[in-house]
Structure 1
């Protein structure tokens, strides 16, 4: 079990609800199980922060969340003070309500934000000089999950960057995309025994 060193990661991604997969996203969980799951992901993210190279600390997170978990998952981990980039996406039609959409828009200075199916959009803080726009793929597109993952990797990392995927899972396309685009893929998980994140399978 190898504990992850400090300042070795260029980009950290956690696909919390398994949106970037050939299969359907994670099914809904009962409230108690969902709360526990969110807390576990949050603990892992907090422990992963020292592994990021760039400053300010936390500037390289892409975190998949939905409306329920914006505050419970991301705010304690990534405050407005130290966050430049983050990702929030929702995929299911029942999450795409006018109220939810407006909440995303209001939060856009905090988050990269996504609305509808596998479509996604992002907005960066005003002091970032990056493109602000939208990429939309229809749910009927069999390669939508792949296209979205590729956009994320190309826009938020450079060739030869080390990209950590926290809590990777079977069916996730991130490893394939990271390696195809000339980045270095590393899978990491939180270890209670180690008291921090470790390289998965090592």
Structure 2
């Protein structure tokens, strides 16, 4: 079908970016469930003219809903198919198979002078010289859909309502032409 294989640069998705993508998809479906209790509490405050129900709505919005959403994140982020997004990896496609090569994350120096320095890895890495730690091959026929989310390609790896996703930033591709060719390969 396609003669050229396309491979991205080595990159990783930060947990915060992955959480934002999961939350946007989850809240697009279940927004009404999150809003129901605070809205009912506000309605009760208006009907009964009691400020305690407004305080209850505030407690729900500030103290109850954020930890509940954290549980949602862990439910989707800890899926075994989704684990590939966090360590450094590269994604390649030859027209028939999606190849995910995982690399070992660089370890920070343990010098005392570096203890106060922010050692958070960057979003994108240059390709490591080491061989990949793990290589996964996924036939393109087993992909369940492709979505775009704020500069990322989200490839559904399952057929659930909110499936585990492989997320590839547009910036991981060497050029916009290779991005378009990659999209053409995986959509066919």
Larger Rg: 2
Q: Same fold (TM over 0.5)?
A: no
Structure richer in helix, relative to its length? 2
TM-score if structure 1 supplies the norm length?
A: 0.25
